[in-house]
Each structure stands twice: as structure tokens, then as C-alpha cells.
Amino acid sequence: MNIQYFEQEKLFKLDTPKTSYVFGIAGKRGYLVHLYYGPRLDSLQGIWDLARVGENPALADANTKDELSYVDCMPVEYSTDGLGDFRESSICVQDEGGHRALDCGYVSHEILRGKEKLPGLPATFGTEEEVSSLIVTCKDPDNGVVLRLKYSAFQDVDVITRSVEVINEGEGSVYLKKAMSLSLDMDNREFDAITLHGSWGREKHILRRKLELGSYRTEGKKGGNCHQAHPFLAVLSHNADETSGEVYGFSFVYSGNFLAQAEVSQFNSLRVVMGIHPEQFSWKMSTGESFHTPEVVMTYSAEGLGQMTRNFHDVYRSHLMRSPYLHTKRPVLINNWEGTYFDFDEKKILNIAKSARSLGIEMLVLDDGWFGNRFDDNRALGDWYVNTEKLKGGLEYLVSEINKLGMKFGLWFEPEMVCPDSDLYRAHPDWAIQIPGRVGRRARNQYVLDISRKEVRDAIMEQVFKVLHSANIEYVKWDMNRPLSDLGSFALESDRQGELYHRYVLGLYEMQEALLQEFPNLLLENCSSGGGRFDPGMLYFSPQIWTSDDTDAIERLSIQEGTALIYPLSSMGAHVSVCPNHIVGRVTPLSTRGNVALTGTFGYELDTTKFGEEEITIVPRQIEVYHRFNDIIREGDYYRIASYQKNKEYDCYQVNTKKKDKALVFFTQVLNEANQKSRIVKLQGLKPEAAYRLYQVTVEDEEIVKDTGKLLSGQVVMQGGISIDRPWGDFKSLLYYLEETID
């Protein structure tokens, strides 16, 4: 077992292949004291020194004259509130008298193979051979609140997960005002923080900054749809780069409001907390009731950021994502959104399908506008029945015609929303989230449905199921296009209104689970105005998420780099669209658009009936490249080689097979310069002793994969590099393929 308890030393030790995590029980009260998280330890001798027990009366059970100052510096497993630890608390419990305090001590623990499920919440999973768990129960005898601190350590990847169950075993009700999933105290080793930020169409740009005294937080408060911040935080040594240095990464498996904070204290210690955002959160717990926090996935890498990324990719691909499509090539799709917007009928869609099929495209996705009275984005969300004025013969006709072409069919929904101008809203105005007596604020002329209510969820899913049963629909794009505001639920008591945000997320998870239960072979793609809800919680339900509404290849370099910092390439929805790009107006070569989209799920978002000769020649070749190389991209190890976000000149990344016998190198020159030589880029992660044949993959010629005639040693390409000729022009992309040779 990779989790042990040492009775005499009162120490818990959790091991992953290359890391260890250690904490112990101290003092009469049985405080859980954090001791170590880092490279794997063989021996724990002397580890208690790290708690400075001698200095701490609370731990040494010495006189308690000045207990308070020690409480404020003790490294704990789960920080509490109200009793003298003035750093960030992880939990806040308010009793019926209005007092807020919690002081928990160890009661018992259990170590088990495998991992408990989190009720109603997405979470990582594994077999009894792959993961072990530790659950430590603590109690505050004064108010009867019990904490079950849950840890799971994976055996095949350097990941430990954390979550907390809070139980009210006291006599009266209590209100949970805050319940973080993770609290981690460490010595501050001169850390930086990395977080992801952006806006609509400009998601997940990487931001690195130095941690100074005080707190740095990243937070999402929009109820789920959040382009501005992301439920992820890394703390890393100043000198950490792609291949070296210490990195701690924390990723939150949740799709609602979040807070992640790194705080450097007066004594130069570092506390990281992560969990549901406490603002507007309050959860009533009657006697015997419990609350489960979502899960935080944490990883430690002593080999820089690249290894952190690969740990997240591995754990999410092997232990979080569940789709039958996960390890298969996804059908190359065409989505009509940028091609037609709302202006289509069945003839236009069928014409697009026919021309797309002749190029090799395998699935048509009909986006927004097929239902109710939806002729523009001002009406009809909530009315999930086919608009037969637009689509004569309904979906039955359209889908069967598309199937006859040998293509699959997919459909767009936005199930969580309602437009004031809809049959649904006219029948049930109280189903929208709103504050009684106030006129709710609209966004894109829509309100958010109160899916914390079962009758609302059921009514929507009934409509969705009916549509999906009416024709052979094999893919769904589940969209969500506005944040939550004007918080109020007609179904919740006044002292439970603070539960709405979280109940909303639980409702969403229940709806998506119901969809997958009803249609187990469905390919589900989540979306939220692009990448507004691209998080691990949603990945549990859908193997792919639309990365951004911005399909410009150059903008996508940064967006996809930030997304791939945590998420597998196979999960990033990426399409080739027309030029000038609809969002930024940039004109880029079709081959570059293709190469950038290849890094994700790959598809097209344009009107193929408008194609000229160039597209008709190149698109089938791009699809061939996708089929030839998607296995590597989907299942391989990803290495960032050069970041356009940082150097403003060029971008380069590499994907290797797990066996390291094949690799793809994507290179994009953003702006060319006069009189420059070829560029040398150092590759990573190959076998130093192997020899690789270098091919260039190009859609410009009939021969797509061309032998360059170069045979290169693994050691040379990693320590020296490969030389890349500068393409003539801006926004040009090159793709190389390396294959080990045993000649």
C-alpha cells in the first residue's frame, strides 16, 4: 500500500511514484500538523522537527500562556477559523448563536484501497491497484462538527487528491460559511505563482508573478461561466522553467465559483487554499447532515512545469475522463455556426453536408437556431422542439439525409437557459433565477434557469431527450452563454438562499449524468461562450470542450498553450475557420489553421460550399494528416518548446508517443524578420540513444509525409536541437515528424 500510518511516531505517509506527503498528529487535542510534500522520502527520521514542536506550547502540551502566537504559525492540514490562526481559514462554521469557531482534533482514521465516490460531484477514480485513500476523522467536541479529511494517492502518476466531508453531529443547526477543499502549509521557498486569465475569445493566457508577503488570489464568481480566471494555481520556485525546478500544481474539479489563494505570512510560510468561493455561499446543516466539498487534484514536479503538465494530462486521461470516445479518433466535424450563423434552412445545411462529405468530413453539427422561434439570439431558449419552418421535414428528414451521405449528425443545445420571449418562460416565469420584486438583468437576452430545482431539470431534460430520441443524433454540443446574477430561487427558504450557486452546479452535473445514462454512446462536447467553462468538472462528463470562440490560428496558439498547461490535447475543441477571421480579422494560411486545429479535436467551422480550388485540394490532405497522426496527439506526451506568448516571435511544441519512438513537432513563425538564419530548437523527452528519421508533413504537396533524408541522434536533437528553416512570410506553420529507426 502506498499510504502508511506509523503508530509510534503518529505519522501518515502518502507516496506516489516520485513524491511523498507527510503529516502527523500532535498535542493533547490531536492537531493534524503538516510536515512535508516533495520528492519521495525513504525515511521519516527527524521529520517532526519540521513542525517546530519545541517552540509550540499547543503541540508540546507545555504551558499555554501564549498559545495564540503559535497557533498563527503552526503548519496545519486544514486551517480553521475564529481561534487565533489569522492566516486564511479553510472552513467557517457559524452556530445558532451566531458564533464562528472551529477547533478539531484527531479521532480516528482509515486507510483503504481504491477511492470513495463524491456524492453528486465529479471526481478522479481508480482501481484498488491504482489508488489508495486515507480518511482522517477529526471533531470539535464543543460544537459537534466533524471533519473527514480525504486523501487519495495514485500509484501510476504523481498525483494526490484532497476533499473534505463536513458533518454536523451537534445538537442544533449550523451554517457552513466556507468549506475549502484544500489547505496546504509549506515553507516559502521563494515562490512564483502561475494562474490563467483572459476574457471572452481570449481565454487562459498564462500569468506568472512573484509571491510577496500577503495574499495573491485567483477567483471565479460568475456561477460557472468564467473567461477571466481559472480554477488552477501553481506555485513554483523562481528558477523553475519547463524542464527543471520545483512546481506544485493545484487543479479544482468543479464548475462553479472558486477561490485559489497563496498567502505568504509574517514568518515567511506559504499557505495555499482552494475551494468553493465563500462569497455568497452559506449552507445550512441540520443535525446529522453532511456536506461534501469538491476535489482538488495536486501534483508535485521536481522537473519543472513540463512534468506538471504531463502529470495533469495523465491523471485526467486515465482517472477522470470517462467517455467511450476518450481513446478513439473523434469524427472530423463541420459545424455550421461561423458558416451560416442563424441564416439556414434544411437545403443549405444539406448542401454543406454534401460538399463537406466529398472532402472527407465525417460529421455535421447543427449549431444554434434549429428550435422554437429562434431566428436570432433574442428568443426561444427553453423551447427545445424543431423549427419546421426552417427545417422542413424536421430533424428526422435532415438526419436521415445526412446519414445517407455516410455522415454522423450532431446538435447544439443550451439547456440551462431561458429567453423571456419563449413559451417556457411564459408558462413558468418563476423557473428563472431572480430576486423577487426585481427585474432580472438579461445577458444575450436570456435568463438562467433555476436548475437547483428538480422539476426544472426534469422538464428540460424531457425536452432534450425527446429531440435526441427523434433521430440518429450522435453528438451534442452543450452550451452555456451567460453568468449567473440576480441570485434568488423561488424554491429555497430564506436561510438557504446562499446554497443556490452550489446547488446549481450539482443540478448541472445531475443533468449531464442523466444525459449520458440515457445515451451512453453520445459524444458530448461542453462549451460556454467558447472556453468559459473548460474545467476538470466538465471533463468528467465530456471528453472534449470548445476551447474558444476565437478560431484565429495565431490567437489560438496562446489560448491552446494555456489550456494545455493542464488539459490533454484530446480535450481541446479546435476548428479551422475562414479568413479574414471573424473575430480578429486576421488572414492566415490554411495550412497554419489546419496545423493549429490538429492539436485539438480537429474539425471545420465554415461553409464548405464556398470553397475555392485551394481549399478543395488542401482540406482532404489535412484530414489525411489528422487520421495519420491523431493517435500520437491524443495519447502522447506534450512538451512546450517555445512560447509565442513569451517570445512574441514563434511557437513550438512537441508530442511524443509514450514509447518515445515517434514524435510530432509543431512550429509556427508568427512574424518573419529580414536577414535571419534558420532557427535551432531543442527537442525534449526522446531516447538519447536512439536515431530518428526526420520527415516534413506538408499539405502543400501530394506527398504529405516527406523524408527529409536526415537521420538524427536523440541526444543531438535534445542537447543540440534541430534546425528549422525560416518560412517566407508571416503566420507560417511547419510540421515535422520523427520516427525511430533501427537501420
**Catalytic residue ranges:** 479, 549
- 540 sits near ligand GLA (criterion: CB under 6 A): no
Q: Is 158 helix (H, G, I), strand (E, B) or coil?
A: coil
CA dist list (Å): 152 to 8, 147, 296: 23, 16, 10
Of 325, 339, 397, 393, residue with least CA distance to 369: 339
By CB under 6 A, the residues from 410 to 439 that bind ligand GLA are 412
577 interacts with ligand GLA by CB under 6 A? no
**Please, what is the minimum distance in Å from the beta carbon of residue 679 to ligand GLA?**
35
Give the shortest CB-531-to-ligand GLA separation in angstroms.
9
**Can residue 337 be called a binding residue for ligand GLA (CB under 6 A)?**
yes
The region of 217-225, 318-326, 522-530, 701-709 touching ligand GLA under the rule CB under 6 A is 522-530
**158 or 479: CB nearest ligand GLA:** 479
Q: Does 611 bind ligand GLA (CB under 6 A)?
A: no
CA-closest candidate to residue 522, choices 479, 465, 571 = 465
Strand partners, 723: 680
| Residue with smaller CB distance to ligand GLA, 333 or 632 | 333
Q: How far is the CB of 658 from ligand GLA (least distance, A)?
A: 33
The only residue of 218, 299, 307, 529 in contact with ligand GLA, by rule CB under 6 A = 529
Residue 458 to residue 453: CA distance in whole angstroms: 9
Cβ-proximal residues to 562 (8 Å cutoff; 6+ apart), any chain = 196, 198, 203, 204, 205, 206, 645
> Which contiguous run of DSSP H or E holds residue 616?
helix 613-635
| SS3 call for 57 | helix
Other beta carbons within 10 angstroms of residue 238's beta carbon come to 12
Q: Please, which residue, 252 or 478, has the CB nearer to ligand GLA?
A: 478
Residue with the closest Cβ to ligand GLA?
Answer: 368
Tell the smallest beta-carbon distance from residue 379 to ligand GLA (Å): 12
Among candidate residues 546, 531, 570, the one with its CA nearest the CA of residue 335: 546
How many CA atoms, within 13 angstroms, populate the side-chain half-sphere of residue 324? 9
Told to check if 333 binds ligand GLA by CB under 6 A, we report: no
Note whether 567 binds ligand GLA by CB under 6 A: no
Radius of gyration over alpha carbons of the chain, in Å? 27
| Separation CA 204–CA 469 (nearest Å) | 36
Nearest to 560, CA basis, from 680, 730, 569: 569
248 binds ligand GLA (CB under 6 A): no
CB of 479 to ligand GLA, least distance (A): 5
- Can residue 140 be called a binding residue for ligand GLA (CB under 6 A)? no
Report in angstroms how near the CB of residue 377 gets to ligand GLA at its nearest. Answer: 6
Q: Which of residues 394-413 bind ligand GLA (CB under 6 A)?
A: 412
Instruction: State the first-to-last Cα distance of the chain, in angstroms, to the nearest integer.
Output: 44
| Interacting residues with ligand GLA between 10 and 49 (CB under 6 A) | none
φ/ψ of 590, rounded to 5, equals: -60, -35
Q: Segment near ligand GLA (CB under 6 A), from 42-50, 240-248, 527-535, 663-671?
A: 527-535
Is residue 382 part of the contact set for ligand GLA (CB under 6 A)?
Answer: no
Site string for ligand GLA, 83-112 (x = CB under 6 A): ------------------------------
C-alpha grid cell for residue 146? Answer: 466533524
Cβ proximity to ligand GLA, 36 vs 412, nearer residue: 412
Q: Closest by alpha carbon to 433, among 381, 509, 512, 504?
A: 504
CB 663 within 8 A of CB 737: yes
CB of 332 to ligand GLA, least distance (A): 17
Question: Of 154 and 546, which has the nearer Cβ to ligand GLA?
Answer: 546
User: Cα(609)–Cα(170) distance, rounded to whole angstroms?
Assistant: 68
For ligand GLA, give the closer residue by CB, 414 or 450.
414
> In 3D, which of 148, 236, 241, 135 has the Cα closest to residue 186?
236
Q: Judge if the upstream peptide bond of residue 324 is cis by omega within 30 degrees of 0.
A: no
Q: Are 304 and 237 in contact (CB under 8 A)?
A: no
Q: Segment near ligand GLA (CB under 6 A), from 169-177, 317-325, 468-476, 524-532?
A: 524-532
CB of 354 to ligand GLA, least distance (A): 23
Strands 131-140 and 145-154: antiparallel
What residues contact residue 740 under an 8 Å CB cut-off, 6+ apart? 660, 661, 662, 687, 690, 691, 692, 693
Nearer to ligand GLA (CB atom), residue 476 or residue 596: 476
Give the residue, chosen from 256, 339, 483, 530, that forms a contact with ligand GLA under the rule CB under 6 A.
Answer: 530
User: Of 23 and 412, which CB lies nearer to ligand GLA in the complex structure?
Assistant: 412
Most distant CA pair in the chain, distance: 86
Q: Does 574 bind ligand GLA (CB under 6 A)?
A: no
Element spanning 284, H or E: strand 283-285
Among 549, 555, 607, 651, binds ligand GLA (CB under 6 A): 549
- In the range 481-520, which residues lie near ligand GLA by CB under 6 A? 481
Tell me the H-state helices in 471-605.
Answer: 500-518, 536-539, 553-563, 590-598
For position 561 contacting ligand GLA by CB under 6 A, the verdict is no
**CB closer to ligand GLA, 337 vs 653:** 337
The closest of 608, 641, 644 to 623, measured between CA atoms, is 608
* CA dihedral sign, ordered 643, 645, 648, 651: positive
- Choice between 474 and 479, CB closer to ligand GLA: 479
**Cβ at position 341, least distance to ligand GLA in Å:** 8
CB of 412 to ligand GLA, least distance (A): 6
Q: x-or-dash pattern for ligand GLA, window 443-482, by CB under 6 A?
A: ------------------------------------x-x-
Specify whether the CB–CB gap between 304 and 240 falls below 8 A: yes
- In the complex with ligand GLA, the residue whose CB is nearer, 124 or 529, is 529
The x, y and z cell numbers of residue 95, run together, are 452556530
**527 binds ligand GLA per the rule CB under 6 A:** yes
Helix count and strand count (H, E) for the chain? 15, 39
Scanning 219-227, 389-397, 526-534, 678-686 for contacts with ligand GLA by CB under 6 A, the matching segment is 526-534
Residue whose entry in the numeric block shows the C-alpha cell 481565454: 203
Please report whether residue 368 would count as binding ligand GLA according to CB under 6 A: yes
Closer residue to ligand GLA, CB minimum distance, 254 or 412: 412
**Alpha-carbon span 559 to 597, nearest angstrom:** 12
Q: Does 367 bind ligand GLA (CB under 6 A)?
A: yes
**Total of residues contacting ligand GLA (CB under 6 A):** 12
Instruction: Check binding of 192 to ligand GLA (CB under 6 A).
Output: no
For residue 9, the tally of other CB atoms under 10 A from its CB is: 14
Q: How far is the CB of 234 from ligand GLA (least distance, A)?
A: 27
Interaction site with ligand GLA (CB under 6 A): 337, 367-368, 377, 412, 479, 481, 527, 529-530, 546, 549
